[in-house]
């Protein structure tokens, strides 16, 4: 398979396990997590796409998991290297986390810091790094009701969440319509 969902934490929460199972159910993805040793799903890659899962905010130095355990961009790079990612990897690394590609003022986004570190410090010269500028949707096959300002909205969750930035989300005093994840995705040069 050319697409891998990778959790850079050694312990996986129940909700992360459910996400892993829902992504593999599509047949489009292989899913694995950091173990501290080479991981066959990572080690065997020289091209394709690696989706790194986590939670992020604009301008952050860290990704967190569902248990609020934080990893810096350097630690996330270390997990890929320790897991056996080859230096000749020429595919895409997508930081699939809310606002992983959003800067704050002059503070670089997580994805930009990660891209610079992977290139300059880790010597992954061919990898392309992408981040997302909006909230993302990582659940599959469900709906939920959200009540805000006296109104009930149904948020649908799509069968292929990697294609959607969000179904509908609350931003201040406004509901924001669904957008495709590719419209929120940006490439981050290491320079």
Burial string for 93-111 (b: 16+ CB within 10 Å, else e) reads: bbbbbbbbbbbeeeebbbb
In Å, what is the CA distance from 44 to each residue of 66, 77, 95, 133? 28, 17, 20, 30
Say what the pTM is. Answer: 0.81
- The pLDDT tens digits along the chain (191 residues) read 579 989 999 988 888 888 778 778 777 888 888 999 998 889 888 999 999 999 999 999 999 999 999 999 999 999 999 999 999 999 999 999 999 999 999 999 999 999 999 999 999 999 999 999 988 765 544 444 444 445 544 444 444 544 544 445 444 555 555 567 888 899 999 99
Question: What distance in Å separates the CA atoms of residue 1 and residue 28, rounded to the nearest whole number?
Answer: 7
| Domain ranges within the chain, ordered by starting residue | 3-135+182-188, 143-175
pLDDT tens digits for 84-137?
999 999 999 999 999 999 999 999 999 999 999 999 999 999 999 999 998 876
* Torsion sign, CA atoms 50, 53, 57, 61: negative
**If residue 80 lies in a helix (H) or strand (E), which one and from where to where?**
helix 73-82
Farthest-apart Cα atoms in the chain, separation: 54
């Amino acid at each position: 398979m050319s697409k891998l969902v990778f959790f850079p934490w050694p312990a996986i929460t129940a909700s992360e396990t459910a996400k892993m199972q829902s992504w593999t159910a599509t047949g489009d993805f292989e899913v694995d997590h950091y173990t501290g040793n080479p991981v066959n799903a990572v080690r065997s890659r020289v091209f394709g796409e690696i989706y790194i899962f986590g939670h992020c905010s604009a301008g952050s130095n860290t990704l967190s998991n569902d248990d609020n355990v934080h990893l810096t961009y350097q630690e996330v790079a270390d997990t890929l290297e320790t897991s056996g990612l080859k230096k000749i990897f020429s595919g895409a690394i997508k930081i699939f986390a809310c606002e992983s590609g959003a800067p704050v003022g002059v503070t670089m986004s997580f994805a930009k810091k990660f891209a610079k570190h992977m290139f300059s410090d880790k010597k992954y010269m061919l990898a392309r790094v992408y981040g997302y500028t909006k909230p993302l949707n990582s659940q599959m096959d469900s709906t939920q009701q959200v009540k805000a300002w006296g109104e009930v909205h149904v948020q649908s969750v799509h069968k292929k969440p990697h294609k959607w930035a969000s179904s509908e989300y609350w931003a201040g005093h406004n509901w924001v319509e669904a957008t495709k994840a590719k419209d929120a995705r940006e490439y981050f040069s290491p320079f």
